[in-house]
Amino acid sequence: MKLAGVWLPVITPFLNDEIDFPSYDGLIDYYISKGISGLIPLGTTGESPVMTEPEFEKIIDHTVEVNRCRVPVYVGVGGNFTNKVIKTLKVVEKYAVEGILSVCPYYNRPDQNGLYEHFLKISEATEKNIIIYNIPYRTGVNLQNETLFRLAEQENIIGIKDSCGNIHQTLELLSEKPENFSVLTGEDILFYTHLVNGGEGGILAAAHLHTDVFLDVFRLVKENDHQSALQRWKGIHKMIPLLFKEPNPGPIKYCLNRLKLIRSSETRLPLTGISEELKTQLDKHCLEKIQQIDAGGAV
């Protein structure tokens, strides 16, 4: 099945430094009811680097149990030691999830051959589907399109979360992507641009807020009503930079807590709470607008 639509890399709520599962389960129900296309737990937005191994598995278990097969689930499983990624993948395989989202190896900065061999070995180790995640500003290495196209020849490498940071590379990718291969943007601010250039959708942390608008933009573009989609997009595109002005997911968690969707805005060290200045900006430019929509106003 080709991946498309608005996918949510769901946050992990904490309360007193423990995973707040009641809030987490509520988020899953809430966003599925909104109409998202799929869930991605344990991404960087879900603060996967600060999860213990037991917590990692508990989150997968909760996600599967609460989801009840309503939407596809892809679990964040990445790293810079190929054999360790494969070992973690075997834990994921115990659960009824569709696949994994796997980031390019970071810090040790492999060349294109190393990147190819890394994802090839992961592909050969599982029957689960794989979405590759290319985000050079976090990993220090860029998966070039030529390498990606070679990897896409593997039956279970079915898509990419593209956060390459280079619009020329992205446009080339969209124009030359293999048949039945999905390109989902991970650059939230480029969602509209990505769609009108032939992209399948996005894996979007910002879709925790104004979820309905993201879904409308996707639907309208696919209906070839680009102008209506653009008008909807103009209502929220200025909000998006605020959500990433300080380390993700701090700003998003602040908003979700203010909206009473989670009980606490806690993050785990080394992430800390957001500044008072940003709280004021989010209150004005994000939360007030959400409240206007809930009251029946237009974006």
N-terminal to C-terminal alpha carbon distance within the chain: 33
Residue 292: the pLDDT is 54
Q: Give the CATH fold of the 5-234 domain.
A: TIM Barrel (3.20.20)
Residue found by looking up tokens 């990624």 in the block? 85
Residue 295: the pLDDT is 43
Q: Over the stretch 126-173, which tens digit does the pLDDT of each residue have? A: 999 999 999 999 999 999 999 999 999 999 999 999 999 999 999 999
Alpha carbon of residue 56 to chain centroid:
17
Percent of the chain at pLDDT above 70?
A: 96
This prediction's pTM:
0.95
Residue 284 or 3, more confident: 3
Residue 66: the pLDDT is 98
Catalytic residues: 133, 161
Query: At residue 56, does pLDDT exceed 70?
Result: yes
Residue 286: the pLDDT is 76
Residue 285: the pLDDT is 79
Percent of the chain at pLDDT above 90?
A: 93
- Across the range 240-258, mean pLDDT stands at 97
Residue 298: the pLDDT is 40
Query: At residue 293, does pLDDT exceed 90?
Result: no
Residue 118 or 296, more confident: 118
Q: Over the stretch 170-197, which tens digit does the pLDDT of each residue have? A: 999 999 999 999 999 999 999 999 999 9
**Largest distance between two CA atoms of the chain:** 54
Residue 284: the pLDDT is 87
- Across the range 61-77, mean pLDDT stands at 98
Q: Over the stretch 112-124, which tens digit does the pLDDT of each residue have? A: 999 999 999 999 9
Given the DSSP bridges, would you call strands 14-15 and 18-19 parallel, antiparallel or unpaired? antiparallel
| pLDDT averaged over every residue in the chain | 95
* Among the listed residues 85, 96, 91, 94, the one whose alpha carbon sits nearest the alpha carbon of residue 123: 85
Confidence of residue 294 (pLDDT cuts 50, 70, 90): very low
Residue 298 or 293, more confident: 293
Residue 288: the pLDDT is 67
- Across the range 9-35, mean pLDDT stands at 98
Please provide the DSSP assignment of the chain as one string: ----EEEE-----EETTEE-HHHHHHHHHHHHHHT-SEE-TTSTTTTGGG--HHHHHHHHHHHHHHHTTSS-BEEE---S-HHHHHHHHHHHTTS---EEEEEPP-SS---HHHHHHHHHHHHHT-SSEEEEEE-HHHHS----HHHHHHHTTSTTEEEEEE--S-HHHHHHHHHHPPTT-EEEE--GGGHHHHHHTT--EEE-GGGGSSHHHHHHHHHHHHTT-HHHHHHHHHTTTTTHHHHTSSSTTHHHHHHHHHTTSSS-----TT--PPPHHHHHHHIIIIIHHHHHHHTT---
Residue found by looking up tokens 């237009």 in the block? 298
Query: At residue 76, does pLDDT exceed 90?
Result: yes
Residue 49: partners with Cβ closer than 8 Å, 6 or more residues away: none
- Across the range 221-239, mean pLDDT stands at 95
